[in-house]
Every structure is written in C-alpha cells, then in structure tokens.
Amino acid sequence: MGRVFEHGPIRFGVMPPILKSLMVVNVVLFLLAGVVGPEFLLTFGLVPARVTEHRWVWQPFTYLFVHKGFFHLLFNLFAIWMFGVPVESQWGPREFFRFYMICGVGAGLMNLALTPSSMMPIIGASGAIYGLLVAFGMLYPDAVVYLYFLFPVKAWHMVVLFALLELMAGASGGTPTVANFAHLGGMAVAYVYIRWWWVWSLKLRALLGGLARERSEPPAPPTSRMKRQAARRPSAPEAEGDDMAEIDRILDKILDHGESSLTESERDILRRHGKLGTQGHA
C-alpha cells in the first residue's frame, strides 16, 4: 500500500525553492497584468489565432504564468503547493520543473490544435496543475484527499473523477470560459510521460550506464582475466538478465503503487543502477 503524504502548515520559508520561484513569477506577472491592462493578457496569454496566424510562438509557454482575478491566482497557487510539494520531494527540482513545463506546454498545444482560429485567450497554470494531479495520483494512489475540503477520496479516484468531469464539461460546451480540453491535455501528457517516456528513459540510461561501466573497467592480466572469465562465464549473462528483470518488476511496481511502496532492498537495487539519482529534496 502506498504511503499517505502528509502536508505541514503552509509556510513559504520552508517550501522547495522551485515552488517558491513558480509562485513568485505568477504573483509578479499578475501584478504586472493589473498595471498594463487587458493587452497584457492578449500578448502573453495563449490566443490560438495569434499563434497560428502571426507566429507568436512564446504564448504556449508564457500563458502558464498569466492569471486574471485574485481567486484564479490564489486557487492555482494553492494547487501548486498541495500537489507540487509531494511530487517535488520524490523527483527533485530539475525533474519537477521539466515535468511541470511539459504538462503545461502540452496542454496549451492540445488546446491550440483543437481551436486554431480562436481569439479567446487561454491563461493560467491549470494545464500544468492537472498534470501534477496525475503525478500525485500515480505516486501516492492511496493517499486520502479531502475533495472540496469535505469529501475524503483516494488520490487516484480523484484523478479519474476530475478527468471525467473535464471530459463531460468540454464535450457539452457548458463552460466556454474554461479551457477543459487544455486541462485534459495536461492530464494526458502527464500520464504518457510517466507511464512510458519516463520509464523507458530510465531503462535506457541504465543500459548506457552499464555499457559505460563495462568499457571503463581496467584490463586485467591475461592469466587472471582468463580465469575470471572462465569462472563467471556461465553465470554472468544470467545475472545480468536477472538484474534487468528485477529492475523491470520494480519500475512496474512504482507505476502501480507509487515510489513510496518500495522496500529498502528494492531502493538499493535502483540506486545501484542509477535509477534514483534524480530524486530527492531541493
């Protein structure tokens, strides 16, 4: 069973630096938008028609940090704290920030592909936040979250519920001012990234690391090398195959039950093969 992640009180001073930076940038741009006016949102928000027709290619990146309205900003900052703290604690700042941007930009591009001629600006960090929600649900599937501060649900059940709500809202068109398909895009990108790209990149790095270690081994004297090869020839391929099978099993366990479900011996195996190198606190 996955470990339930427990938050402490919201204290800006003890937050990971990457979360502080994201919050500061969002607040600063919110204040700047209030000074500049509506043109700021049209310039740095995501306006699909301006991207497709005028090549304003920065908008799929900058829209993530633009908000309209105090409560819009406040809710997104709260969500970044709520889901960002546990995800960053598992992955570390670099992997966290890369994942955050991939989900946010991917959400924007999906919305762009669906509405290429729209002049309605898309703003806010919700696409990236929905990606964080998926990551939290996959890392801590059994964690209990109080939905709307009232209803206790497991994290993974909450992810599925939110996905269904966004799909129904987007299909019905009942909330034209909310980019439901951008939210779904963030969730889809997050799932694909974690379920396939992240796992296969780890396996590739482990394979390349093993080849590099083999090439870097110093040559042994001919007689001792022949004796060593003769002694280990029957078992070395089997041991290597067993190691890769065990690594695959552990990676599948992370995807099914979260990284926190690993035993100490399984963590040691991943550390020896360099698979926990990007995890840790900022």
Q: Please answer whether residues 131 and 107 qualify as being in contact, where contact means their C-beta atoms are separated by less than 8 angstroms.
A: yes
Q: For the chain, which domains are there? A: 1-282 (1.20.1540.10)
What is the per-residue pLDDT across 173-190, written as a single tens digit (0 to 9) for each?
Answer: 655 556 777 888 899 999
Q: Which range (151-155, 203-207, 208-212) has the least confidence?
A: 208-212
Look up the pTM and report it.
0.71
Q: What is the per-residue pLDDT for 182?
A: 84
> If we measure between CA atoms, which residue out of 217, 252, 250 comes closest to residue 232?
217
**Percent above pLDDT 90 for the chain:** 39
Q: What are the backbone dihedrals phi and psi of residue 144, each rounded to the nearest 5 degrees, phi first? A: -95, 125
Q: What is the per-residue pLDDT for 48?
A: 93
**Going along 137-180, which residue ranges are E strands?**
144-147, 151-154
Q: Is the pLDDT of residue 205 over 50?
A: yes
CA dihedral 27, 32, 34, 40 (to 10 degrees): -120
Under the banding of pLDDT at 50, 70 and 90, the label for residue 139 is confident
Average pLDDT, integer, range 27-48: 93
State the DSSP string of 46-114: B-HHHHHHH--TTHHHHGGG---SHHHHHHHHHHHHHHHHHHHHHH-HHHHHHHHHHHHHHHHHHHHHH
What is the per-residue pLDDT across 51-91, written as a single tens digit (0 to 9) for each?
Answer: 999 999 999 999 999 998 899 999 999 999 989 999 998 88
> If we measure between CA atoms, which residue out of 246, 139, 129 comes closest to residue 195?
139
